[in-house]
Every structure is written in structure tokens, then in C-alpha cells.
Amino acid sequence: MGLKDWDERTEPGQSVQAIAGRAYGGLSQIRDAQVFPIVPPSVIALGNVSGFDFYLQARGGQSHEQLLAARNQLLGAIAQSPLIASARPNGLEDAAQFNLDLDWRRAGAVGVTAADVSALLTIAWAGRYVNDFIDKGRIKRVYVQGEAEARSDPTDFDLWRVRNATGGLVPLATFADSEWTFGPQGVTRFNGVPSMQIQGSPAADVSTGAALAEIQRLADDLPPGFAIAWTGLSYEEQSSGNQAPLLFALSLAVVFLSLAALYESWSIPVAVMLAMPIGVLGALVGAWLGDLENGVFFQVGLLAVIGLTGKNAILIVEFAKERLDAGLPLFEAVVEAARQRFRPIMMTSLAFSLGVLPLVLSSGAGSGGRMVLGGTISATVLGILFVPLFFVVVTRLSRGGRDAPDPTAKGDDPSEKTVSE
């Protein structure tokens, strides 16, 4: 079902997760069925749930009963975990089944073949097309099937007779035994292994990553031979989410190498890199105040904040380096650079902040822009103060504590310089 527009659902209890949580409690009181509210995922093609989705596999050749017991054990452990809001098995539960056992030796003794029994069961219970006839100029089909009162109960098998090779009628009960059993209504396999699917959602204020880690921890307590296999969005998150730290590290390395090539120095880019945690700190504070999860929106916003912080730092560092190379003392060069680049930094930061302001004021999915605004504010306010400090510290460390460049750095002879002076 579709919910009303975001403008009509301004309260926290009117979000789709809150509504699904209340519906889960109410629908669980139904005794005649198992009803679960499911929140559709953001990418429909990768599954049908927005929480977690996985298969419990019997990789050790266990029986269906053992797999069912392991599934119930895992569901019981998940129900006691405070990190999981709900978990449910997907598919039909085991049900009562009627088993008809045919003794072909006894059937052959009375002249009945397998084809005769198959024809009887097909016609009696399923029906079979036999002919056409013309009725008022229209061709209609003729189907043969047993009477409803003769196929409504399992004991009705005793009423049916099979015609044998000599033309006689042999009661089906002569060579058939029946019994009630209990078993699966369908056999599910995932990657060729007997499996059972389990879906669910994490608790409030718990990320899906924490929920996946909790499920993996609980699955490790199962008997040997059982394992879980993620599918849908959970599989994509598991396969790509672990690469986020590596991607961030690779991005920082590329930025560092680009700055090193730009300034022809290994020390000056460090001043720019040291400014990036300032924006990250503001983004984390904004995410904490906005009660945001560590999702794709958070990671993309974090990259935007890091880029803006680095850009502001580059403006100050570049002008400070030019003034320093022009002969100004280190402190005066960095102060003049911060003063001259203050206006461009504020213009860029204000433009970016006003651009994400509609996302900050929204109450829907776009409210994740709050963390971007927090990172922009911290990168602007604190960056103007700390970037010059980082530049001074890094420059002095790279020059052995000297504010002025080393006269021997370009091959000049100090003695000749002293004589000429």
C-alpha cells in the first residue's frame, strides 16, 4: 500500500518504519495466518525487503528436519537480540500430507499396470480432456472427472476400482496403502544447497551493517554444517560495504599524490590532508544530531564534505606558499593568505550550504543532508583557523624549525653571499 505524502506525515511515528513496526505487533495476533508487513527496498530489483535477507543452508548434507530445527534455533536467538526488530521465515511451513503407497507386485498379480493406475488417478482427481462436441453451432470440450462426493475425503480411495488387463475391475485398496505424514510443502535450494530463507529488519537506531554482523555471530553458534548465504541488498552490502575503508584510503592517497605533484613537495600536502578530519568531525556531529544511519547517503555526503574541506584548505595553502616563496616570513605569509582567501572560502561554503538547506529542512529521505551541512559549517569555521596552523607546523617541521628557507637549498654558497653582503 502507498502512504500519504511527506507533508502530511511530519511526526516521527508516521514514518514507514514506525508504521510497519506497529503493524507487525497488530498482525502477529492473527491466529489463522502469519502476516508480516514488508517495507520495500530502495532498489526493487535487488530483493523485496529493506532490512536483511539471507538463506540458512545445510551444507553438511543434513536432513530437512535438522535444517528446520537449526532454523528455529536461529530464529529464537534472533528474537532475543536487542539489535533485531523482527525476523520471519519466508515460504510455506511444513504441513500435513497424504501419502499413497502403491505395491506394484500386488498390482501386477491382479493384472494392473502403472499406466492403468496413473490414468485412474488423473481422471478421477484432476480430470482429462477426451473429446469435442457441437452445441448450437459452437464447439465445446468434454472433460471427464470423478464426482465431487467420491473424491472429497482420503477414504474415498477405497471406492475406486482400476480396470485390469482382462477387463475386470480391481479395487484400488487391493494394492494401495495410505497414511498421513508431515513434511515440507516445497523444497527450497539456494546455490544448489537445501536452504530456508529468512527475512527481517534491524531495531530502531541500528544500522543494517550492525544487524548483519549480529546475525552472523548468532549463526556461528549453530551446529556444524550450517551456514548463511546473503542475498538481495544484504549481499550487495556485504560485498561492497567492506570495501568502503579501502576506497576512502585510496581516494586520500590519490589526493595526496595530486597535491604533491602540484606543489612539488611531500610536506605541504600534509597541511591540506590534516584539515580534512575537521569536516569529517562536523559531518559526524550532524549525523548524530540528525539520527542518521551509516548508509550510502552518509558515505556520499562524507565524500562531498571531504572534498569541500580540501578545497578550502588548498586555497589558503596555495596563497601561503606563494607569499612564502616571495620572501615573506612564514607567519606573515600564512596570515595574509588566510585574510585574502577568506571571502572566496565563505562564498563557496555559503553557496554549498544554501544548496543543501532544502534537504536539511525536509523530513523525508533527503533529511540526510543534515550531516553535509554540519560538515560544511565545521570545515568553514574551524578550517579558517586550523589550516594556517597546520601549514605553519608542517613547514617548520620540514625545514628543521626554521621559518625562512634554507639558503643552501638551491645550491648557493653561504660564504660568497656573506662577502657580497
Residue 421 domain flag: no
Residue 22 domain flag: no
Span 386-404, mean pLDDT? 78
Task: Give 337-359 pLDDT, tens digit per residue.
Answer: 888 888 888 898 888 888 888 87
Domain CATH code at residue 73:
3.30.70.1440
Task: Give 86-96 pLDDT, tens digit per residue.
Answer: 888 888 888 88
What cell does 149 get? Answer: 462426493
Name the band, by pLDDT with cuts 50, 70 and 90, for residue 413: very low
- DSSP 8-class letter at 123: I
pTM for the predicted model, two decimal places? 0.56
Question: Are 371 and 321 members of one domain?
Answer: yes
- pLDDT score, position 420: 35
Question: Are 174 and 314 members of one domain?
Answer: no
3-state class (DSSP) for residue 149: helix
Tell me the residue range of the domain where 66 lies: 38-91+188-241
Considering only the C-alpha atoms of the chain, give the largest distance between any 2 of them, rounded to a whole number of Å: 134
Residue 219 domain flag: yes
Query: What single-letter amino acid sits at 310?
Result: G
Task: Give 135-192 pLDDT, tens digit per residue.
Answer: 988 999 999 988 888 888 888 888 889 999 888 999 988 899 888 888 888 888 999 9
Given 154, 183, 212, the domain boundary residue is 183
Question: Are 272 and 356 members of one domain?
Answer: yes
Question: Are 227 and 252 members of one domain?
Answer: no
C-alpha span between 323 and 337 (Å, rounded):
8
- Would you say 178 and 99 are in contact if contact means Cβ atoms under 8 Å apart? yes
Question: Are 360 and 252 members of one domain?
Answer: yes
Task: Give 271-304 pLDDT, tens digit per residue.
Answer: 888 888 888 888 888 777 767 766 667 778 888 8
Q: How many residues does the chain have?
A: 421
- Cα–Cα nearest to 49, from 12, 86, 18: 86
Question: Are 282 and 166 members of one domain?
Answer: no
Question: Are 65 and 143 members of one domain?
Answer: no
What cell does 223 get? Answer: 551446529
Residue 18 domain flag: no
Rg (CA), the chain: 37
Domain CATH code at residue 155:
3.30.2090.10
Domain CATH code at residue 342:
1.20.1640.10
Question: Are 357 and 309 members of one domain?
Answer: yes
Q: How many domains, in total, are found in the chain?
A: 3
Residue 144 domain flag: yes
Question: Are 271 and 368 members of one domain?
Answer: yes
Question: Are 263 and 282 members of one domain?
Answer: yes
Question: Are 165 and 85 members of one domain?
Answer: no
Alpha-carbon torsion, ordered 27, 29, 31, 35, to 10 deg:
20
The share of the chain scoring above pLDDT 70, in percent, equals 88
- pLDDT score, position 78: 92
Question: Are 77 and 159 members of one domain?
Answer: no
